[in-house]
Amino acid sequence: MLGDQLDPTGPAFRGHRPGDARVLMIESEHALARLPYNRERRVLVIGAMRRFADRLRAAGWAVDLRRAPTLFAGVMAHAAEEEPDRIVVAHPASRSGLALVRRVAGALPVQVEIREPVGFITRPGELDEILGARQPRMDTFYRAMRRRLGILVDADGEPVGGAWSMDAENRKPPPRTRDLGAPAPWLPAADDPLDRELRHEFASLPEIGGGGERVMAADQGEAEAALDRFIETRLAGFGPHQDAMMDDDWAMSHALLSGPLNLGILSPERVARRVADALGDGAPIASVEGFVRQVIGWREYVWGWYWKRTWRTANALGAEAPVPAALRGGSTRMRCVEVAMDGIHRRGYSHHIQRLMVLGTLMLLRGTEPWAASRWFQAAHVDGAAWVMAPNVIGMALYADGGGMMTKPYAASGAYIKRMSNHCRSCPYDPTAGAGPDACPFTTLYWDFLDRHRERLGQNHRMALSMRNLAKRQDIPAIRARAREVMAALDTGVD
């Protein structure tokens, strides 16, 4: 069992019972130190593995949970000791995991059977089968998934509520209050003894952030409690402000279920069905549809894109800058970045709009090298699996695949952040200004980004309005000069 396959009913268990098979789980020292992971990511993943092992033992399974220098070394040591007649494993969720399993299969004189993945509705390669020869687009895929699963569709396969997307109702800016006012999410006990033990155990490893607050479920009981809490008290308010950001509300109405979903603790299909069923209990269709879209639409689409291409060398815009200093432990005066990084430092979490429209946009506009950006996101966030971050960061946020995954760059100026957050009220920068010492770095870099990529972006019909607005500006020389100053500060110091 790999650390993201923590489902006792998963495919590897099929056909086996306690007493006739052993469960092998490995805490790899190499994997733990491969990136400067946020401490709360290590706490979540290793804690979930240890809790899962305890649960299996209580159910009568023989479990070998061992620490080893590498996953490969752990498997080989176990095989030498136990001499299994065959090995069964669910399909890994990463290319490196799959390469490991194939290496094991080549090194051992026993059958290694790879079964279907844990935690996904579709299998690797199925994205193209679902969409056929058409250019992959998420909305087309999402409609196919709704019909395939019979979720939020009527007997004729048409969308419940009359529309496939409720996005128009789910993009409201934040209210003019300190926080959203949503009921609190489910959170684990602050003094959990295993969490405390693990934080001490990992204190000497390089890390992004200091950690200290686990906010996602690490076993089935916790995950069910978190799901119940979300559906019963937070789902109704999820939709309208799911794209908003607030200074004093790190959780907003988000479900905080990505961690247990990505570890295999929760089934995405079951989560989507439970949320869809809440429609019958009075949950607003816009909130229900918005959440279901994320789980069976975007999540499965990203999973499909991960296996569709390799991501490491994708760099269509020729981006070579380092990850901004403010994201590497430096300080910043940009309030939106400061708030997002505070959440990462405290709990290894920022919600999806902070990731895409603040942190991701900053890296896009600066020209951060895509693979470095993806590895940073993977290390910084508790739910930062490789299959999640490569397409989301490289394909969506940075447009580094040249438009394969997205039809246009998600480039935005400070005007977007002003509209969708309350950050600008307490920020020293002016989101409307593109040049001058008080100009918002996002606004400066937005116009400079369009200017630097005029030839490429000018050929994209979805960028036509932005490029016309660029042509009208009389201050491009001043913006270019200010952009060089902003870039230098982002690379080396306070911005």
For residue 5, the model assigns a pLDDT of 98
The pTM assigned to this predicted structure is 0.96
User: Tokens 């998963």 label which residue?
Assistant: 10
pLDDT tens figures, 328-340: 999 999 999 999 9
Query: Hey, what's the torsion of the CAs at 273, 41, 333, 255, to 10 degrees?
Result: 20
* Two structure tokens written together for 350: 């920022």
Instruction: State the CB neighbour count (10 A cutoff) for residue 446.
Output: 25
Distance CA 354, CA 356 (A): 6
Q: Cα–Cα–Cα angle for 295, 299, 302, nearest 5°?
A: 165
**Overall average pLDDT of the 104-112 stretch:** 96
Q: Does residue 210 carry a pLDDT above 90?
A: no
Averaged confidence pLDDT in the chain: 96
For residue 107, the model assigns a pLDDT of 97
Q: Does residue 67 carry a pLDDT above 80?
A: yes
Q: Does residue 135 carry a pLDDT above 80?
A: no
Q: Does residue 494 carry a pLDDT above 90?
A: no
Percent residues over pLDDT 90 in the chain = 97
pLDDT tens figures, 74-94: 999 999 999 999 999 999 999
**Overall average pLDDT of the 33-37 stretch:** 97
Domains of the chain with CATH codes: 11-115 (3.40.50.620), 126-308 (1.25.40.80), 325-492 (1.10.579.10)
Q: Does residue 465 carry a pLDDT above 80?
A: yes
Fill in the amino acid letter for 30.
Answer: H
Q: Which positions ≥6 away from 23 have C-beta within 8 Å?
A: 1, 53, 56, 61, 62, 63, 64
Fill in the amino acid letter for 41.
Answer: R
pLDDT tens figures, 262-298: 999 999 999 999 999 999 999 999 999 999 999 999 9
* Two structure tokens written together for 248: 């004093």
The full 3-state SS of 410-429, as one line of letters, equals CCCCHHHHHHHECHHHHCCC
* Two structure tokens written together for 315: 């760099």
